[in-house]
Structure 1
Amino acid sequence: MLAQIRSVALSVWRLPAPPDARPAGRLDYAGVGVAAVLAVIEVAVLRPDLPFRWLSLAGFLVWLPTLLVRRTRPTLTVTVFGAVILALLVVSWVTDGPPPGDLNTSVVALLIPYSLARWARGKDAVGGLVLFFVIAGSSLVSQHVPVADRIGGTAVVVAAVALGAVVRAQSMLRTRQLDDVRRGERERLARDLHDTVAHHLTAIAITAQAGLAVAGREPAAATDALRRIDEEATRTLAETRKVLRVLRTDEEAPERPLADIRGLASSGPGPVVTVAVDDDLDDLSPTVAAALQRIAQEAVVNSRRHARDATSVQVRVTREEDGVQLVVTDNGRGSTGTGDGFGIVGMTERAVLLGGRLEARSLAPLAGWRVTATLPLEEAR
């Protein structure tokens, strides 16, 4: 039991800071500004009998701006907050008067324990929360408030910490799920690449054996074999350069990817799927063709499952000047999904690995959804 507790404590202590912390935005600045205005109104108009009201307001306005860095530097926020509260308590002790009153607007201080649990490194979160609880506890003890209010205040702080920890855990889980999606897409692409490269290498080996067999009596045939070997090797190198750091799984690559894209057309239950594929795409590399098929299939499935009130899904594959473009459009009115977006992550990962790009966006409010993937015809040399 003690070993388990120690293991949990060490894992919490060693937690790294979440990578998704972002700097303050417009809403953060607006929130801080609104809180400052409300505090001034509270002190000047609503609570003129508050002990040391102007001193309390000054302290509040000192630590309030640190909420702007609560994600990127949460320990700074709690340190400044603690220093301000300590200074107010010292003033109360030196003047032998009542402790400075708490502003109702100070409820925004609950963002501090939340931010520590959500954004800080493990050891910083532990230290900051201990400091915050000591400060909050001292403030509650120094004031003459009912025991029920002290218990309620403590419970609210604990709830803020718990909420921050839950949101952090959900964010970590989503990050892992996204990593799994990206890894899985790379593994599937690796299998496609493996099948393609194996085909070219087999052709190279057979051609080399034939060239060796006739080299002595037919030099011209041997030269032709070397030319074919050079062509096959060039294609193999181009296919290999399309993927970085790939792994392998047991998923089978589509044998006829362009035919499979055309096979997505349907007029059964649900949205009607129409498909148009240019006729001059037979020279696509197997890897690019397989990627088009998988992206088209995923996009159509997403539209059929999640597009609200969609009646049609259009799939269009066209040859561009230096690449091939896939566009999947539906006429739905928003999405009925959860918004996790793992399918989009997988499609984007596959397109990027091949040197292309993918964009998924709403056409307009309640006007449909479009997925556009653009893949190069050949890997850059």
Structure 2
Amino acid sequence: MTSPVRALWDAPAAVPAPPRRVWRDWVLVVAIPLLAVVEASVRTDVPWRWLWAVVLAALAPTLLWRRSRPFTMLGIAFAVGTTVGLATAGDPQLYTTAYFLILLYAVFRWGSGRAMIAGGALVVIGMLLTFVASPPDVADIIGGVAVAVTTSTLGLAARWRRRARTRELEQVRLLEREELARDLHDTVAHHVSAIAIQAQAGSAVAATDPSATVQVLHAIEAEATRTLREMRAMVGVLRAPDDALAPTPGLAGIRALERMDAAAPAVAVRLGGDLESVPPTVAASVFRIAQEAVTNARRHARDVTRIDVGVDVDTDGVRLEVRDDGAGAASAPSPGYGITGMRERAALLGGTCDSGPAPGGGWIVAATLPRAGWTA
């Protein structure tokens, strides 16, 4: 077999799997016998009309299994129909016979590659046998082939459209998982790093200054409470309906990063420009980038005493700069989840995020999110 035919032959059944039965199936099974009887009563000029009415009514239940066993049901219908047609030396002239096209559609919509090839061959054989028994006009041949091809094409089109839709949904789920992973990392890493720093400070002063230890414990408690609150908010967003989502953090939330206590590096925040003009999605990304940059400075910078966070909003967009005064590294560290997440957040909005040694010492994280493409 040639490559395209082999690929079709090996093609699996449609994904996702079809529903076994729906209410429309039962409506068809009831309606088709009634239509066959009514048509046989009205069209008195059709030969063997009552025999065909009985055959069509008997074959109607094949519609119930057309999704789970599409080729088998098509084979049964065409075998019985072709046999009766050859026995009566004529093709069925009742319009109700058109429901066989539903079975043909089901083969190309739900069947495997083998089922599609075998189903197509079965239809061709059935049509040839009918033509031999009762030679038709050229117009009838063209019409029959056109109807069969159109029905098969519609089945394939619906199949491919559903497959494309499924892939789009999988891509959306993947992007949502990446976004959730970034949010979890930024939130948990930020607060846990603060708790770790406070715990280290508490260990250092525990022996000499018990009152400072109490202050450190209170700071750890407050940080842990904020961590739990943010985690619960994120879980609530995931579990809540679409119309009850919690608000995302914005530029104003960056002020919550500011702290001047002696147990940890001081964090100074400066916000400038028209903060209200920044769309929520952009503001949330700026907040997360700033949060992650502060976390990295606390965790990785050596001898850091101060972290400056600056946000400027102007006609070009938003510029974020997070700078610490720690000892500069000899070389840039390998990008981890935090740095990768910051760059991804900026790139998704058409911006950039760079990090590296700052002139004069320390480390700097600079992100730029352009105004182009902003929506309210």
* TM-score bin, normalised by smaller chain: 0.5 to 0.7
CA contact (8 A) 1:43 1:53 kept: yes
Deviation, structure 1 residue 147: 2.4
Give the partner amino acid of 1:183.
L
Rg larger in structure: 2
Match of 1:14 among 11, 20, 23: 11
Distance 2:250 2:17 in 1: 37
CA contact (8 A) 1:13 1:126 kept: no
Distance 1:151 1:10 in 2: 29
Which residue number corresponds to residue 61 of structure 2?
65
Deviation, structure 1 residue 233: 4.8
Deviation, structure 1 residue 72: 3.3
Q: How does 1:190-269 map to 2 (within 5 A)?
A: 190-219=181-210, 221-222=212-213, 225-226=216-217, 228-229=219-220, 232-233=223-224, 236=227, 254-256=250-252
Which residue number corresponds to residue 40 of structure 2?
43
Deviation, structure 1 residue 43: 1.9
CA contact (8 A) 2:13 2:110 kept: no
Encode CA deviations 1:97-128: one digit per residue, 9 max, x unaligned.
Answer: 62353422111211122111111223333323
Encode CA deviations 1:28-57: one digit per residue, 9 max, x unaligned.
Answer: 33334333222212223313441x333222
Give the partner amino acid of 1:148.
A
Deviation, structure 1 residue 78: 0.7
CA contact (8 A) 1:192 1:253 kept: no
Give the partner amino acid of 2:18.
A
- C-alpha spacing 1:39/1:194, structure 2 compared with 1 (3 Å): same
User: Number of paired residues?
Assistant: 250
Which residue number corresponds to residue 152 of structure 2?
161
Q: Secondary structure of the equivalent of 1:22?
A: coil
Q: Which runs of 5+ in 2 are unaligned?
A: 239-247, 256-274, 278-286, 289-376
Which residue number corresponds to residue 105 of structure 1?
96
The normalised TM-score by structure 2 is 0.56
CA contact (8 A) 2:32 2:96 kept: yes
- C-alpha spacing 1:210/1:101, structure 2 compared with 1 (3 Å): closer
Encode CA deviations 1:207-256: one digit per residue, 9 max, x unaligned.
Answer: 0221122133234544653564466457546756856xx9xxxxx97444
Which residue number corresponds to residue 31 of structure 1?
28
Distance 1:78 1:229 in 2: 70
Distance 2:32 2:74 in 1: 18
The percentage of aligned residue pairs carrying the same residue is: 36
Which residue number corresponds to residue 328 of structure 2?
none
Deviation, structure 1 residue 150: 1.2
Q: Which runs of 5+ in 1 are unaligned?
A: 247-251, 265-285, 288-381
CA contact (8 A) 1:39 1:105 kept: yes
Give the partner amino acid of 1:19.
P
Match of 2:78 among 75, 82, 89: 82
Distance 2:252 2:66 in 1: 53
CA contact (8 A) 1:18 1:120 kept: no
Which residue number corresponds to residue 50 of structure 2?
54
- C-alpha spacing 1:172/1:46, structure 2 compared with 1 (3 Å): same
Distance 1:11 1:144 in 2: 33
Q: Secondary structure of the equivalent of 2:52?
A: helix
